[in-house]
């Protein structure tokens, strides 16, 4: 199978590339994933491993560090079934995950090994992972996720993604989270946290943030509007921004598709504790393209709140009643399982499963049609 | 059939009374309508006409003059079927209407004949109506509506109403309407209109307005909030306030019963001209009792907007899809057929039909159960 133009994701010890779709002999488009594994750094020899991706769907997930990418990936692999684990022999805290159905390649993970100066060790440590890559090609994964700081940075790589997601954590929330983690848990000073955020800001604004305009779905995390002047960052307002007109992706809606709705489910049938829960839904414009936005402000305190909300959302691509609730309960210990981050990450996972099934079905149908023609 | 305590509606040439429910020999409650017709004013003799109202439902409709009671009554009789007409031989502009199924007694109508000084003529003019009353008792009406300024003023009369409605037109809108009618159409000066409103205000506040706290449904008409600083009174925000816990009356809702919703139907599926249409729905407290409020701001410009909105409302007690739209189109020339006043008047009409059918069914079932016991 011919490999046409090959684009390389930058600065990895083990780089990989995705080729543009090529026509197979059966007449349908097929993507190629190509991995270049540096076996030694001195001899500069590379081993090229190519795999056919006829039934692989490639997903990009971009976000700043500490923004919940790994939680999202664990929710996604859970939706697809099978226990996701870091590759055997690698960093046990790695965001790189392999399950029966999903492989997550964490760009940052590779990158950090490169930068810590543990180059020699890093190469050695990477070997088992490369072995797992080999294994992966023998049993091609169904979902191939490229996550990290830059998966949508390069236009040529972007073009090869079947679906892309950006986690957009507002400065206020990012600051509150960093304070929680770096000050409360790691003993850093408030000044050093502020300085670290400020230092990262120019590069973040230049390279990371602009990727969101290309994303098919953006999960935006903001401070609540239910509590006046809240800056604790505990109650969150989360917006799921869904691009219209994306093939195999039908945005979620609330009650009436395409209209503008606000909904406070807490009332006669459902009681909620302060400050309650508020949803809004409607069409908007985002970087010049049409999107639908579903927003949740507040958090779930009880199971009945969660199932009540799930039952009123449409197009969430569940396979049975209560699947979103089941997923959130299964991973109740994950951060955000009681608010819009967990809810929307889970829903995006279900939408990706749906997208995957539609793509596979269309790829299966295409050669049959070619045969008939 | 025994008539127990009889309450008289005040100051009418032909007064009528409604008795408290009494037990019939079959064991079920039955109301009695009793009319006292003054045959002459000098001899002070009265003729008592009594009719059994086993299948009659009594509705009260209160509002200030010029607030759309007659339009509402025409919509109501239309819902019940049959052409409603003023009693033969009476005032052709009378609000008193008789159709096959509905009789509307307009208190103001009687009252005005009393006050115009045409006393002698009035008595004569009333005679054919009394004749029609006689006829009415032979063929008892299904819906008996008492409308006017004071139908819910007297607690004892209130108690006998099966359902009560108050039309609450805000001062701003009332003023805009009066200007339209009295200045544009009748050539009155702005000063005289203002003076006339001011002069009526103390009595209105003391006797008419307080009745709304007793109403099962209130239609509140306010200036639009869609156009900033609008005072034209052409685009209206109309609120249908529905008391909870009223037997045989299930409030209308939008999408999710008992929660708080706002809905702008104009969007991807439905386009509307400026300033658009906005609905809100939710539980509220009204004079200390629990109510559900459905609000419509804006107006319909096209048929598809009307049917789209109808299809998204629940509990509107239609007998077929599009019945509300059909009713509004049928009477497109009535004031308010393109806004919330017409929509909610029609819906209240359908709710009264539903209430009537439930009451009749329960009265029919009651003696059967008594026989079985």
pLDDT tens for chain B, 373 residues: list them.
333 334 444 433 445 555 554 444 433 344 555 544 444 444 444 444 444 455 678 899 998 887 888 888 889 888 887 666 666 655 556 666 666 677 777 665 544 444 444 344 443 333 334 333 344 344 475 788 888 888 888 888 888 899 999 999 998 898 888 888 888 778 888 888 888 888 888 999 999 999 999 999 999 999 999 998 887 778 999 999 999 999 999 999 999 999 999 999 999 989 898 999 999 999 999 999 999 999 999 999 988 899 999 999 999 999 999 999 999 999 999 999 999 999 999 999 999 999 998 988 888 777 666 655 5
C-alpha–C-alpha distance, residues A333 and B273, integer Å: 49
Which residue in chain A has the smallest CA separation from B308? A256
Query: Measured between alpha carbons, how far apart are the two ends of chain B, in Å?
Result: 23
Contact residues on chain B for A262, CB-CB shorter than 8 A: 260-262
**CA neighbours within 13 Å on the CB side: how many for A327?**
29
Which residue in chain A has the smallest CA separation from B311? A256
Which residue in chain B has the smallest CA separation from A272? B259
Torsional class of A344: left (φ above 0), alpha (ψ -120 to 50), beta (otherwise): alpha
Q: How sure is the predictor about A170, in pLDDT bands with cuts at 50, 70 and 90? A: very high
Of A258, A262, A267, the CB nearest to B258: A267
Distances, alpha carbon A157 to alpha carbons A5, A16, A136, A161, in Å? 11, 11, 21, 7
Q: Is B130 helix (H, G, I), strand (E, B) or coil?
A: helix
Q: How sure is the predictor about A90, in pLDDT bands with cuts at 50, 70 and 90? A: low
Most confident of A4-8, A87-91, A295-299, B26-30: A295-299
Shortest Cα distance, chain B CAs vs residue A294, angstroms:
14
Contact residues on chain A for B264, CB-CB shorter than 8 A: 259-261, 282
Q: Do A264 and B282 touch (CB under 8 A)?
A: yes
C-alpha–C-alpha distance, residues B263 and A263, integer Å: 9
Contact residues on chain B for A251, CB-CB shorter than 8 A: none
Q: Do B261 and A262 touch (CB under 8 A)?
A: yes
- What per-residue confidence (pLDDT) applies to A96? 66
ipTM: 0.75
- What per-residue confidence (pLDDT) applies to B175? 87
Shortest Cα distance, chain B CAs vs residue A349, angstroms:
26
C-alpha–C-alpha distance, residues B174 and B180, integer Å: 10
Q: Do A282 and B267 touch (CB under 8 A)?
A: yes
Which has the minimum average pLDDT: A24-28, A316-320, B156-160, B179-183? Answer: A24-28
C-alpha–C-alpha distance, residues A130 and B53, integer Å: 90
Mean pLDDT for A90-103 is 65
Which residue in chain A has the smallest CA separation from B312? A256
C-alpha–C-alpha distance, residues B166 and A99, integer Å: 65
Q: Do A261 and B261 touch (CB under 8 A)?
A: yes
Contact predicate A22/A5, CB 8 Å: no
- What per-residue confidence (pLDDT) applies to A294? 98
Residues in chain A: 373
Of A255, A260, A268, the CB nearest to B258: A268
- What per-residue confidence (pLDDT) applies to B370? 60
Which has the minimum average pLDDT: A223-237, A336-350, B47-61, B167-181? Answer: B47-61
Closest CA to A51 of A133, A157, A107, A131: A133
**CA neighbours within 13 Å on the CB side: how many for B315?**
16
- What per-residue confidence (pLDDT) applies to B84? 64
Shortest Cα distance, chain A CAs vs residue B360, angstroms:
30
- What per-residue confidence (pLDDT) applies to B108? 58
Closest CA to B218 of B344, B53, B65, B73: B344
- What per-residue confidence (pLDDT) applies to A26? 38
C-alpha–C-alpha distance, residues A93 and A6, integer Å: 30
Where do the structural domains in chain A lie, given as residue ranges?
Answer: 216-357
For the segment A183-218, what is each residue's pLDDT rounded down to a tens digit?
A: 877 888 888 888 888 888 899 999 999 999 999 999
Does residue A180 register a pLDDT over 90? no
Q: Do B263 and A256 touch (CB under 8 A)?
A: yes
Mean pLDDT for A226-234 is 84
Shortest Cα distance, chain A CAs vs residue B263, angstroms:
4
Torsional class of B269: left (φ above 0), alpha (ψ -120 to 50), beta (otherwise): alpha
Does residue A139 register a pLDDT over 90? no
Contact predicate B142/B55, CB 8 Å: yes
C-alpha–C-alpha distance, residues B322 and B324, integer Å: 6
* Residue of higher predicted confidence among A284 and B24: A284
């Amino acid at each position: 199978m011919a490999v046409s133009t090959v684009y390389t994701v930058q600065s990895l010890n083990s780089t990989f590339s995705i080729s543009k779709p090529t026509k197979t002999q059966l007449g349908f488009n097929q993507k190629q994933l190509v991995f270049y594994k540096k076996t030694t750094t001195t001899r500069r020899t590379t081993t090229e491993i190519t795999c056919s991706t006829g039934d692989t769907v490639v997903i990009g997930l971009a976000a700043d560090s500490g923004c919940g990418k790994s939680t999202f990936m664990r929710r996604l692999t859970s939706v697809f079934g099978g226990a996701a684990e870091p590759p055997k022999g690698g960093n046990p805290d790695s965001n790189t995950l392999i399950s029966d159905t999903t492989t997550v390649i964490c760009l940052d993970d590779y990158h950090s090994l490169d930068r810590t100066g543990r180059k020699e060790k890093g190469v050695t440590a990477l070997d088992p992972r490369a072995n797992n890559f080999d294994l992966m090609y023998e049993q091609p994964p169904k979902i191939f996720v490229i996550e990290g700081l830059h998966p949508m940075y390069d236009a040529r790589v972007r073009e090869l993604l079947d679906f892309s997601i950006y986690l957009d954590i507002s400065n206020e929330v990012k600051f509150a989270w960093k304070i929680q983690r770096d000050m409360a848990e790691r003993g850093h000073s408030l000044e050093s946290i502020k300085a670290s955020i400020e230092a990262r800001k120019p590069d973040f604004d230049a390279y990371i943030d602009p990727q969101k305009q290309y994303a098919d779905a953006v999960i935006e995390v903001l401070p609540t509007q239910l509590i006046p002047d809240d800056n604790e960052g505990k109650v969150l307002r989360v917006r799921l921004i869904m691009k219209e007109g994306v093939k195999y992706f039908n945005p979620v809606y609330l009650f009436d598709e395409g209209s503008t709705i606000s909904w406070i489910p807490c009332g006669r049938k459902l009681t909620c504790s302060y400050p309650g829960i508020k949803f809004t839904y409607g069409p908007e414009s985002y970087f010049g393209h049409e999107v639908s936005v579903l927003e949740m402000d507040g958090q779930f305190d009880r199971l009945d709140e969660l199932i009540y909300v799930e039952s009123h959302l449409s197009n969430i691509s569940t396979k049975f009643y209560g699947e979103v609730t089941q997923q959130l309960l299964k991973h109740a210990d994950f951060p955000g399982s009681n608010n819009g981050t967990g809810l929307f990450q889970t829903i995006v996972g279900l939408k990706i499963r749906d997208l995957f099934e539609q793509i596979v079905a269309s790829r299966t149908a295409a050669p049959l049609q070619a045969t008939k023609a």
